[in-house]
A and B are shown apart, each in its own frame.
Chain A
């Protein structure tokens, strides 16, 4: 079985959890014999034919243009990074590719949707997507460009199913389905409601809606997300499947404690954006520090709320007890995890949330919001409403006062998350692939 997969993020092209989730999922699917042609927002017109598990790390690439491809093959790269630079993947997601002419987008693409075979419903979804994929923002332009380029991959590659991740790639997926008539799976890692911590951008809702409606199957990363897409997007439950994310630790991870601070250390690790509830973390810190002035709170990561929270922590006079790490790379994340006792992620809305699992793997006691998908897969973590800062503060106070309980919870959590494996998730996805493909073949009578 071969999948055409569009994704916006994949290591080393990382900006968040989406990259890590795709990586884990793809790797496990490859190990189960699924073949994947992966298309990413690269500068050059390349795709990644992934056939074996190790391909997820080595990233073999093929240029659509045969002349460039032969040049590429002859070229010797001493490192993977050198090769990726040639293809045009940078680890800074803002510099994917140069903006090309996209004025033709609407006129050229619209032709596909004017033929006699187009149903009214199909036409409406296409209209919904194209009329909302508009705007002068850098991101909108990039998505437009990605969609325009997606067409050639859809037309020139051969595959059985199309699998796309999050709204950025939904227009590409829709186009691919229209061109190839193959079934489309859209994977929801986060909706605009989650990211915005509120209504968010209307255009993105519409694109998300069109993508989900046009898809043959919608995979949600949690029950929480499934509820959200049923209630907010009115998607037919029959087409929704839940596959919880998993996570895997790198082989070279070091778990032993190595403190930075002698006092109890409480960690927030994630993007400092409204979705993750960093402001609640700050309010909790203020309450806890009144009772336990020797505690230290670390806000690790970057994001658009960092400055505001920095100023507010000063306003609240949290002294040198509320510290900011700035951007941390992989190894630095590990060091900050090894230095912490309690992890807290008070997300306002979290479709899944891999970061708490990672913290738990280090034996850190986790406090997660009830409004997060990850709460569905772990038991040995405190689950509290993100807005209930008093209860979160009380919980932390209790854990500080009873370090043996904190340690026990951490150890149990560690055992629990070590059992969550991508293989299990990939099994479910593979089963959905098979069922969908069987359905499709039955309907088309094996014509395709």
Chain B
């Protein structure tokens, strides 16, 4: 019983660290192996190249993050 009580937290800790390493390994595999391969697929590569050539910040959360000069209200011509 004592052995079980002592062993249980260790086993738990081992399981937790193993889960962390498992997750890290999975993320590393996706980011370092799978995504670079996807990036080389013709359709994806074309899309990436086009976005980079046009300097489009696809991950922009707000308009100020874009490399774009917004039109000013005064320039708008009301008929």
Q: Does A associate with B in a complex?
A: no
